[in-house]
Amino acid sequence: MANKKTQDSSKNPTLRPSQALRFRIDSSGSLRAMVSASSGEFSLTPEIIQLLCLLQQGIKPDELAAKLRTNFKQLNQALPDQNEIIGLIDDLIDAQCILAPNSDAEGSGIQDGFGDSWIQWAMLADAPRCRSYKNALQKTLNEQSNVLDVGAGSGLLSLYALEAKAHRVDAIEETAIAHSLKKLRSQLPEELRKRLTIHNCNSFDATLPQNITHVVSELFGNDPLQEGVVPTLRNIFSRIENKKCVGIPENVSIYLQLIDLVEGPLHKRLARFSNKDVENGDLWFKSVEKIKGTLDLSSISFSHPLRVEDIKQMSPLRKTITIQLAPPPSEKAQRPHQDLDVTASAKMSAPALLLGFRAKLSHDLSISNLPGESDSCEHWSPILVTLNRCIEAGETLQIKLSVNELWDRVILKITDNNGKRLGSRE
């Protein structure tokens, strides 16, 4: 973390760790943490962990150096001094790991990908996405609506809610793009400006207003769960007093389909991946095959933009699990899973399993990342799980689909009739 401030944090006795901090121990035994799914993980050293614990206990920043030296006597030479602790605290504030009481209204925001103007524009330029949300809000909101916009970005859904005559809109945005949201608010007529409140912090740390009637959000990635939509909305709905609060979107469903790539660079790449005979007799490819045997290619998945003309649909589009988002499943809920068989309609020489989603905004409006569908949006791509051999016509594959423990990733295992793994997404 780069130190961007010169303030004297030791004078602020009211700092506290973010409620959004999430910890896990990785396979090497190191402790990892994240503030949000979008900003990614970072490693925690013992002194940082202790520093966070001491702040949580109410220890003042100017007393931290002495406390650390008491608790880590055997590491005394390597521990930060008071000036270094001030720098560490400033860095942790920048990353929203540590918050001050005014964090709902202050702060520059996390410098992650979603704070980038071009990424925001990719979403704003997606006409099907924007049009569907505008229509859903226009049909749902009225003068009595108190709206919470979670992950507000540059403010599009908040603006739509105001245009739909919502009585009040609270916009929560943790990243640096909140500066655009604040600029938008400053340019609104006074009557609209008074109805919009901005919280530049993680939603776990935001003070929620009273009488919320609607929660709106667009927290989807190419894998719909990867931006933390379930744990984020789970936390929001658990703190809302109004148990009849309406959520937009209502749910998200996972779809699967066997496809064969027929055009483009990816077609050649997958054909060579799946078919040893594709370059039969070519000396350069024999060496490639030798190297291929040393690589772990059993769990390959990636997002990729697809045109309908680039693929052949080799099985019907299959709807699988549906996850409610208003409200989401509780932490104690069983993780959804489904076992299913999929049969190839013809021989596949560049095969993949397409993983996509459809989100239901309201009873008659949806958005998806499914190629060729009427509700397909432009800035998302489906996930492709590559298969490591050709698939014969009429061959049936067994698929095990589930959600990981953090509820932020769809996982898959694909095997043939002999139980041999053809592909997976861990």
Could you tell me which of 403, 398, 395 has the C-alpha nearest to residue 426?
A: 403
The answer to whether residues 96 and 52 touch, using CB atoms and an 8 Å cutoff, is: no
Express each pLDDT in 60-76 by its tens digit. 888 888 888 887 776 55
In a domain, 282, yes or no: yes
pLDDT score at 215: 98
Which of 44, 72, 99 represents a domain boundary (last residue)?
99
Q: Which residue has the higher pLDDT, 110 or 12?
A: 110
pLDDT score at 228: 93
Q: Which two tokens stand for residue 151?
A: 């992950």
**Which residues lie below 8 Å from residue 152, measured CB to CB, with a gap of 6+?**
158, 171, 172, 173, 178, 181, 198
Three-class secondary structure of residue 163 per DSSP: helix
Three-class secondary structure of residue 337 per DSSP: strand
Instruction: For residues 268 and 388, state if they share a domain.
Output: yes
Distance of alpha carbon 7 from alpha carbon 9, whole angstroms: 6
- The residue-averaged pLDDT of 329-349 equals 96
Instruction: For residues 142 and 185, state if they share a domain.
Output: yes
Task: Indicate whether 145 pLDDT > 50.
Answer: yes
What H or E segment, with its residue span, contains residue 351?
A: strand 351-362
pLDDT score at 160: 98
Task: Indicate whether 3 pLDDT > 50.
Answer: no
Instruction: For residues 121 and 83, state if they share a domain.
Output: no
Task: Indicate whether 284 pLDDT > 90.
Answer: no
Instruction: For residues 92 and 208, state if they share a domain.
Output: no
Distance of alpha carbon 30 from alpha carbon 48, whole angstroms: 13
- The residue-averaged pLDDT of 102-116 equals 62
- The residue-averaged pLDDT of 210-234 equals 96
In a domain, 245, yes or no: no
Instruction: Give helix then strand counts, H and E, for the chain.
Output: 11, 21
Task: Indicate whether 19 pLDDT > 70.
Answer: yes
- The residue-averaged pLDDT of 403-423 equals 95
Q: What is the DSSP string of 90-152?
A: HHHHHTTSEE-TTTTT----B-SGGG-HHHHHHHHT-HHHHHHHHHHHHHH--TT-EEEEET-
In a domain, 331, yes or no: yes
Instruction: For residues 80 and 196, state if they share a domain.
Output: no
Instruction: For residues 123 and 196, state if they share a domain.
Output: yes
pLDDT confidence tier of residue 234, bands split at 50, 70 and 90: very high
CA-to-CA dists, residue 269 to 83, 131, 266, 272, 278, angstroms = 53, 36, 5, 5, 11
In a domain, 66, yes or no: yes
Could you tell me which of 8, 386, 379, 20 has the C-alpha nearest to residue 199?
A: 20
Instruction: For residues 157 and 205, state if they share a domain.
Output: yes
CA-to-CA dists, residue 381 to 114, 201, 355, 357, 369, angstroms = 17, 28, 10, 10, 6
Residue-range definition of the domain harbouring residue 277: 251-425
The answer to whether residues 137 and 246 touch, using CB atoms and an 8 Å cutoff, is: no
Q: Which two tokens stand for residue 111?
A: 């410098």
pLDDT score at 75: 59
**Which residues lie below 8 Å from residue 100, measured CB to CB, with a gap of 6+?**
12, 14, 15, 16, 93, 106
- The residue-averaged pLDDT of 333-339 equals 97
DSSP state, 391?
B
Instruction: For residues 198 and 291, state if they share a domain.
Output: no
Instruction: For residues 213 and 261, state if they share a domain.
Output: no
Task: Indicate whether 248 pLDDT > 80.
Answer: yes
pLDDT confidence tier of residue 79, bands split at 50, 70 and 90: confident
pLDDT score at 1: 38
Three-class secondary structure of residue 313 per DSSP: strand
Could you tell me which of 137, 376, 362 has the C-alpha nearest to residue 249?
A: 362
pLDDT score at 321: 98
Task: Indicate whether 106 pLDDT > 60.
Answer: no
In a domain, 244, yes or no: no
Which of 54, 70, 99 represents a domain boundary (last residue)?
99
Distance of alpha carbon 166 from alpha carbon 343, whole angstroms: 49
In a domain, 58, yes or no: yes
Task: Indicate whether 6 pLDDT > 50.
Answer: no
- The residue-averaged pLDDT of 240-263 equals 96
pLDDT score at 392: 96
For the domain that residue 417 is a member of, what is the CATH number? 2.70.160.11
- The residue-averaged pLDDT of 113-136 equals 92
pLDDT confidence tier of residue 11, bands split at 50, 70 and 90: very low
Q: Which two tokens stand for residue 424?
A: 């997976």
pLDDT score at 277: 58
- The residue-averaged pLDDT of 11-37 equals 78
For the domain that residue 165 is a member of, what is the CATH number? 3.40.50.150
Instruction: Select the highest-mean-pLDDT range: 277-281, 314-318, 385-389.
Output: 314-318
pLDDT confidence tier of residue 231, bands split at 50, 70 and 90: very high
pLDDT score at 2: 40
For the domain that residue 56 is a member of, what is the CATH number? 3.90.930
pLDDT score at 82: 84
Distance of alpha carbon 133 from alpha carbon 156, whole angstroms: 9
In percent, the amount of the chain with pLDDT more than 70 equals: 90
| Preceding peptide of 249 cis, ω within 30° | yes
Task: Indicate whether 107 pLDDT > 60.
Answer: no
In a domain, 36, yes or no: yes
Instruction: Give residue for tokens 């350069």.
Output: 284
Instruction: For residues 85 and 127, state if they share a domain.
Output: no
Instruction: For residues 275 and 325, state if they share a domain.
Output: yes
In a domain, 384, yes or no: yes
Instruction: For residues 90 and 169, state if they share a domain.
Output: no
Across the chain, what does the average pLDDT equal?
88
Express each pLDDT in 111-123 by its tens digit. 666 778 888 999 9
Which of 99, 134, 162 represents a domain boundary (last residue)?
99
CA-based torsion, 113, 119, 124, 126: positive or negative: negative
Q: Name the domain count of the chain.
A: 3
Task: Indicate whether 343 pLDDT > 70.
Answer: yes
Distance of alpha carbon 113 from alpha carbon 121, whole angstroms: 12
Three-class secondary structure of residue 10 per DSSP: helix
Q: What is the DSSP string of 183-249?
A: HHHHHS-HHHHTTEEEE-S-GGGS-PPSS--EEEE----SSTTTT-HHHHHHHHHHH-S-TT-EEES
